[in-house]
Amino acid sequence: MEHTKTALVEIQIGKILSFFLLIGIGVPLLIGIMLGIPITTTLSFIGSTAVLQALAAPIGVLLHLDPWAVLAIMISFAFGIVLAIQELFRTFALTSDRVSRWLSKIEQKMQDHQSLHRYGAVSCIFIAWIPGIGLYGTPAIAWILRWDRIQSAIFTVTGFFLASLLMIVIAEGAAILF
């Protein structure tokens, strides 16, 4: 039993790292390379996105990146990080009996609120805008409430996209004024 759990954890860690490194870091780097953006600029922008989330969009404008390149890099990073976080929580559920029991209790309570269970993932669009929760907390909320993984990932990234787009519009407007 313990050997099986260890193997499962190793597989899950591989998935988490794959999502983070390939989609969250690799795809944005590839986008940057294809658009002729220096690797150091792309990496610094990815780091800014990791720390500042949607508020990093104006930094992309300050780095003189095309707004569409800024969005493409930010969105691919967002997909990678959301999928990695979802997989991390899935690992907790698969390897911890205590977490699994806790999720079962939540699942039973959610049966009383079918509409929240069915349409709750849409709220990830709005939850992704909340400062302090944003891109990192929304997958946790979706996981706890047992919302569909794919839908919650898509809606979380959609919310992140809209927040980033708003920040670019504000940054571009400020650049025109000054």
The full set of domain ranges for the chain reads 2-177
**pLDDT for res 151:** 95
- Between CA 22 and CA 101 the distance in angstroms is 33
pLDDT-wise least confident of 8-12, 35-39, 134-138:
8-12
Token digits of residue 145: 């409430």
**pLDDT for res 82:** 97
In the chain, % helix, strand, coil (3-state, to 5) comes to 85, 0, 15
Instruction: Please write the tens of the pLDDT for every residue from 74-101.
Output: 999 999 999 999 999 988 888 878 887 8
**pLDDT for res 156:** 96
Instruction: Please write the tens of the pLDDT for every residue from 137-164.
Output: 999 999 888 889 999 999 999 999 999 9
82 closest CA partner among 107, 41, 49: 49
pLDDT(3) > 90: no
| Percent of all residues in the chain with a pLDDT value above 70, rounded to a whole number | 94
- Between CA 60 and CA 114 the distance in angstroms is 41
Q: Which carries the bigger pLDDT value, residue 10 or residue 71?
A: 71
Contact 64, 38 (CB under 8 A): no
pLDDT bucket at 175, cuts 50 / 70 / 90: low
pLDDT bucket at 66, cuts 50 / 70 / 90: very high
Average pLDDT, the chain: 89
**pLDDT for res 53:** 93
